[in-house]
Chains A and B, each alone.
Chain A
Amino acid sequence: MSAPFYRITDAGRRALESKDPAVPSDYRFLLSLIDFGNEERLQNFIGQFPEQRLWDTLTEMEEIGLIARVAEPAGTHAETTAAREALSRHGAYLSEERLAARAPLGKTPAETVILIVEDDPDQLALADLRVSMAGYSVRAARNHATLLRSLRERMPDLLLLDVMLPDGDGFEILAKLRWHPAYRALPIVLLTVKNDPDDIVRGLKLGADGYITKPYSKRILADVVRRVLRP
């Protein structure tokens, strides 16, 4: 992990400086390390801390506003490495090559149309909710045939594509879209239960911009979509 891509917030400073016993000791210690920007100590600490627990703790601290991510210039090595590692811990992967080659979208979330292709109604409802809650406009397709129809009607800004569809294999659909000049640049994120490393590598090599394994959190989905769109 490339450590300090977080900064302590005002609320975090108050928590750190308070004597309140309600502030967990893990929070207090991480706050002190982040505050002082002591990367060596933080790396040592990370080595002793169960990795998943560390990330869960940092996520909790971010969600309650004690820390915030440091806004580094997009595309810096530190930023992309940290982002990649953070996402991969939660089953999400990005194609940095494709992201680097694409200009920012230049639309607000409300103007951004995301097409979700998912055959399972419960998974579709959940993805629809998560994407809508992130502020994007959503369209849906339940299979390969309706996906093609939907693409012809109106090009979305991003495609969230389930890999296992009743009438098609998502990997094959992705490969075909990448061969078509009209869809070569379309941002595509695969959304799948397939979490085998070979599948992940295959998806990214076929031209996926991102790869998210199910189950996924709303934060991860929103984070991947935001990074792929480069608003």
Chain B
Amino acid sequence: MAHLVAVAADLRHLVPIFLSNRGKELQALREAFAAANYEVLRQLGNRMKGVGNPYGFRRISELGEHIVAGADARDAALLETTISGYAGYLSGLQVSYRD
């Protein structure tokens, strides 16, 4: 499924690095989930919460909130669903730039 995101044009040169970092973040989430490391999951979720919106990726901030909630509640089902949703979101991203 395609996820279309319009990002401010002045962020154009930052977005490739930003998305590369999100890929690394996804891998870190999977590893922390596999290890049931809820503290790391909470930290990663908080980072997603903080960084998604400012770059124009609101969905990343929302998924971060779910990760934090899942980590706080130690809710493995919510975490698994959210991490899977994050992977799907990143793989379907189509970014355009607006002035």
Instruction: Say whether A and B bind each other.
Output: yes
List A residues at the B interface (Cβ < 8 Å).
120-123, 125-126, 129, 133, 193, 214-216
* B17 in contact with A123 (CB, 8 Å): no
* B14 in contact with A193 (CB, 8 Å): no
A120 to B54, CA, bound (A): 13
Q: How far is the CB of A198 from chain B (nearest CB, A)?
A: 18
A90 to B54, CA, bound (A): 13
Contact of B54 among A121, A133, A215 (CB under 8 A): A215
Closest to A125 in B: B14
The size of the chain B interface, using a CB distance under 8 A, is: 15
Q: Could you tell me which residues of chain B, from 15 to 63, have a CB within 8 Å of some CB in chain A?
A: 17-18, 21, 46-47, 49-51, 53-55, 61
List B residues at the A interface (Cβ < 8 Å).
10-11, 14, 17-18, 21, 46-47, 49-51, 53-55, 61
Q: How far is the CB of B97 from chain A (nearest CB, A)?
A: 14
Residues of A within 8 A of B55 (CB): 122, 126
* A121 in contact with B21 (CB, 8 Å): yes
* A215 in contact with B10 (CB, 8 Å): no
* A122 in contact with B17 (CB, 8 Å): yes
* B50 in contact with A120 (CB, 8 Å): yes
Residues of A within 8 A of B46 (CB): 193
Q: How far is the CB of B85 from chain A (nearest CB, A)?
A: 20
Q: How far is the CB of B1 from chain A (nearest CB, A)?
A: 25
- Given contacts A120-B47, A193-B49, whether A125 and B54 have CB atoms under 8 Å apart is no
Contact of B50 among A129, A133, A214 (CB under 8 A): A214
* B51 in contact with A133 (CB, 8 Å): no
A120 to B18, CA, bound (A): 11
* A216 in contact with B17 (CB, 8 Å): no
Q: How far is the CB of B20 from chain A (nearest CB, A)?
A: 10
A84 to B50, CA, bound (A): 24
- Given contacts A122-B21, A193-B46, A193-B49, whether A214 and B54 have CB atoms under 8 Å apart is yes
